[in-house]
Structure 1
Amino acid sequence: MYRKKMRGMYISKKALKNQFDPSKFPRETYLLCKLRWGESDRSWIHWVKNYSDNYHAEVYFLEKIFRMKPYTNVNCSITWYLSWSPCVNCCYEILDFLERHKNVKIDIHVARLYFKDSEGTHRGLKKLARSTQVKINVMNMEGKFSCALWDRERYCWYFCCRWKIQPKDFKRNYLPGQHPQVVYLLYEIRWRNGSIWRNWFSNNRNQHAEVNFLENCFSDVPPAPCSITWFLSTSPCGKCSRRILEFLRTHRNVTLEIYAAKLFRHQDMRNRQGLCNLVMNGVSIRIMNLADYSYCWKRFVAYQHGEDDYWPQNFAAYIFLNWRELGHIFLGLPPLLPY
């Protein structure tokens, strides 16, 4: 049954782009493999993917595809290119396999991190990294690995913070009393199975951060119930509010909650009406408080050791004023703040 679904030893260019683009979050996991025995110059290549929860791609390869040669004294080197890093269970399955096959070494390159906020996943990856039979790295633009990534003392911080925004960018753009040109959108997607996806977008010359999320994050994701939380450096404009509503009308099983550091051109009636329309259609909109800043800092910011929290007390007055203005918007009252 499995082999009927295979398309030879090569995957399509479309699948490669969609599955290994780290800015996208496909539901499947692809494993591209290169295997070489001994000192031979010839390599055997193959690929698999998970078709169900019964077999993850890594386990399927180890149990169904890999076959040890009769002469077990010959070394075997395996290279994997994974669209997602191994889950905690797969980490231990890989280690068990290597315990039984001392002549095998696996070099793993991953496009993105799976369940990156799970302590169990951290422990599993840590055990893999410490194995003398495993190398694990993040793919770069050429499809190769990043050098010196798995420093024994710093690997976990580097690996898990690679996707996060820099502290200076967070502090500068999430100031509640200023309006930088760049708008950041930090997001969480919570799926029914308990997994959480976290990442971020920003605006560019062509479109706002909200539209970037809607067009790039969900374009290849099959319809499935989930709840989305945005932490925006500024609230949506009127046009983005309309795009958000269009998205929610076509994704009835998705809920959206928005936290904004400040209001975007709150005196513009189109922006005020856009926020009202979102709320009337079930979207929760709040101004970020100090606890929200701390939450974002711990989960989205690549802070250095010793900077474990961010609690900007001097934001309190600005937070209160933005909160009051947002209340005026929802009540249909005139603007409170002069600018």
Structure 2
Amino acid sequence: MAPLIAVVAVGALVTVAAAVGYGFIGLENSRKSVDLDRELGAERPQNVDNGSLDILLLGSDSRAGDNAKYGRDEGSSRSDTAMLVHVHEGRTSATVVSIPRDTRVHRPRCPGRGGGTVAAQDRAMFNTAYEVGGPACAVKTVEYLSGIRLDHYIEVEFSGFKDIVNALGGVEVTTTRRIVDTDSRIDLPAGTNNLSGEQALALVRTRKGVGDSSDLGRIELQQAVFTALLTKVEKGGAFTNPKKLYDLARISAKSMTTDRRLASTGALIEFGSALKGLSADEVRLITLPVALDAIDPNRVVPLRKEGQRLWEALRLDLSVPDDVDRGPGAGRKQDVVKQGSKLSR
């Protein structure tokens, strides 16, 4: 599922409203957090203070609790979706990098879920980092891959994403063809559709409904819903309706996990204030440049040259070059959804 920056903005900004009188402060005790500073220690990239903000947004595929209806959970949860969100200095624009979960990466040594340490592994599937070591290992793997020290971590569960979409009154997505997938339970006609939470969740989960059934095709759908949700938050009056604000705050507290430094009301107020000027029109969505793995064509590997250019631009808080894309070996865009030119570059 798609842990979207719009969800982040919602979760943060509702707390700003809470501070001025809607009575949401009592929800603070129900928030879940992880102390990444303690778990990761000093083995991290240098923290460069250039005015930008880097956040790992992660959606887990846990089937626990309200998520049980989406299938059985075999073993530990995995990161179904991961996006590195780079908010540029000034907080009016952002670059969002989707990391395919089937990417072969070097997974560094990291804390294990049950204690102890998980050994480093070359050519590990990216989503196994969360499986074996939870948020700390996912963060450490992204930091190793990118060379960027992350400022924050936010994780969203299946049920929370669905409930947030419903609380916003649905999201509008235009498709160029019918999308059908019995596994994710979606049958969406071509054209403009106002998706309920259940439909939006099915759309961002489908693999068989588009293209070659790879994770790359699904990422295009996730980015489309990402854009639609951010637009709805920005233009749908979510923050002028007290009931809607309370519903969003309650859902966020129930279904989101953050790093410890973002877990307090004061920190969320500051974070939300920093994102107030972020517009959907100024968010650029791209996918980590990858190619098909020569050893296993069902997996992909990062393209070294293109990846270096991508990460270097973000480390320096610069615009990513326009020609940085997924790479020729990873398949072509399916063009199943219509997006704005800036968002689809």
Q: TM-score, normalised by structure 1?
A: 0.24
From the CA coordinates, give the structure whose radius of gyration is larger.
1
Question: Comparing both structures, which one devotes a greater share of its residues to helix?
Answer: 2
Q: TM-score, normalised by structure 2?
A: 0.23
